[in-house]
């Protein structure tokens, strides 16, 4: 196995505390929410209980991606109107969703009693899930940084686009500046080949080493796939609508890395052109 592709620390069987993984990006439009939802589904396939907290600032998308209509949101949790058991909704395959909303903006301004109540409510998720995945908002706001600082692991999503790489570097720079010490992993989304994914990661890695004196790890990559946009339009997660798609196979592979399992990197479907090229090569 290439040493540049490294999984998060395995989820041990004896582990009792819930593991918190934050998924973030330097900019919007890189597929962060779709990755988060489908990573949760892929982990559930391994009999892991997963909850997803929609941490976007008033632009909650997790519920939309899963095709569910929540009655309450994190705002009701923050104000103390509802308990976490009342706010949580069940998504596909038993995924638990804490719907986002504008209320998360109020978190920084809570008084001590309200903050303790909110923390206690979130803490009760530990009885309901083994892993909590936080879909953070895009950008570098204080709330995003706070969520990342409190997490056990951070996964940064980028694409081969130069602007996405630049923004991912900006996110990592802010993480280091704010003393975020948890491991940072990179997933390169919307790639056409393994070579493109590795080249994108190497460009980012060199910048981090040179200018930040830090280190990152390649978690994996996800192929460009028309099935993704079709699933979005259907408001059904990719792992439910098109579980055999090349992009979801990539996410399954990454889920294996999260759990400390070795799974070979999936090959991209070549289609008719790939089939003909294979015949010519032979």
Q: Is the dihedral of CA 81, 94, 32, 12 positive or negative?
A: positive
Contact assessment for residue 138 and residue 167, using Cβ atoms and an 8 Å cutoff: no
Mean pLDDT, range 110-127, rounded to an integer: 79
Examine residue 34 and state whether it is found in any structural domain, yes or no: yes
The number of domains in the chain is 1
Domain with 139 in it: 19-281
Residues belonging to the chain: 282
Task: Return mean pLDDT, the chain.
Answer: 84
Q: In this structure, is residue 237 part of a structural domain?
A: yes
Q: By C-alpha distance, which of 19, 100, 21 is closest to 59?
A: 100
Domain assignment of residue 6, yes or no? no
Structure tokens at 74: 């994190």
Report yes or no on 9 lying in a domain. Answer: no
Q: Which burial class, exposed, middle or buried, applies to 6 when counting CB atoms under 10 A from its CB (0-12, 13-18, 19+)?
A: middle
Q: Is residue 163 part of a domain?
A: yes
The answer to whether position 14 is within a domain reads: no
CATH number for the domain spanning 223: value is 3.40.50.300
Q: How many whole angstroms separate alpha carbon 183 and alpha carbon 20?
A: 12
* Percentage of residues in the chain having pLDDT higher than 90: 59
On the 0-12 / 13-18 / 19+ scale of CB atoms within 10 A, 214 is middle
Q: What is the DSSP string of 44-68?
A: HTTT--EEEEEE-BS---HHHHHT-
Q: How many CB atoms are closer than 10 A to CB 4?
A: 11
Q: What is the C-alpha separation between 26 and 172, in angstroms, rounded?
A: 8
Residue 35 inside a domain? The answer is yes
Q: Is 218 within 8 Å of 186 (Cβ atoms)?
A: yes
pLDDT tens digit sequence for 10-37: 544 444 589 999 999 987 889 999 999 9
DSSP assignment of 193-210: SHHHHHHHHHHHHHHHHH
The model's pLDDT over 66-101, given as tens digits with 9 standing for 90+, comes to: 999 999 988 888 888 899 999 999 999 999 999 987
Does residue 181 or residue 45 have the better pLDDT?
Answer: 45
Supply the pTM of this predicted model.
Answer: 0.87
Give per-residue pLDDT as tens, 163-219.
999 999 999 999 888 887 778 999 999 999 999 999 999 999 999 999 999 999 999
Q: Is residue 169 part of a domain?
A: yes
* Amino acid 112: pLDDT: 72
């Amino acid at each position: 196995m290439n040493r540049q592709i490294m999984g998060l620390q395995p989820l041990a069987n004896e582990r009792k505390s819930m593991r918190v993984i934050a998924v973030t990006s330097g900019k919007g439009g890189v597929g962060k929410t779709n990755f988060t939802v489908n990573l949760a589904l892929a982990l559930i396939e391994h009999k892991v209980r997963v909850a997803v907290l929609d941490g976007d600032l008033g632009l909650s998308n997790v519920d939309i991606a899963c095709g569910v209509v929540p009655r309450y949101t994190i705002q009701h949790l923050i104000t103390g109107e509802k308990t976490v058991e009342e706010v949580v909704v069940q998504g596909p395959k038993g995924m638990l969703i804490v719907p986002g909303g504008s209320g998360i903006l109020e978190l920084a301004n809570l008084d001590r009693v309200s903050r303790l109540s909110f923390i206690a409510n979130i803490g009760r998720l530990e009885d309901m899930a083994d892993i909590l995945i936080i879909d953070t908002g895009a950008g570098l706001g204080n709330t995003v940084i706070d969520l990342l600082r409190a997490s056990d692991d951070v996964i940064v999503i980028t694409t081969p686009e130069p602007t996405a790489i630049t923004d991912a570097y900006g996110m990592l720079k802010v993480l280091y500046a704010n003393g975020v010490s948890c491991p940072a992993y990179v997933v390169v989304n919307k790639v056409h080949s393994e070579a493109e994914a590795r080249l994108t990661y190497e460009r980012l890695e060199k910048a981090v080493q040179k200018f930040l004196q830090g280190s990152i790890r390649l978690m994996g990559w996800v192929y460009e796939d028309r099935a993704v946009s079709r699933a979005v339009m259907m408001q059904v997660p990719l792992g439910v609508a098109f579980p055999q798609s090349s992009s979801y196979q990539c996410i399954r592979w990454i889920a294996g890395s999260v759990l400390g399992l070795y799974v070979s990197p999936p090959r991209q479907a070549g289609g008719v052109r790939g089939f003909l090229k294979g015949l010519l090569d032979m």
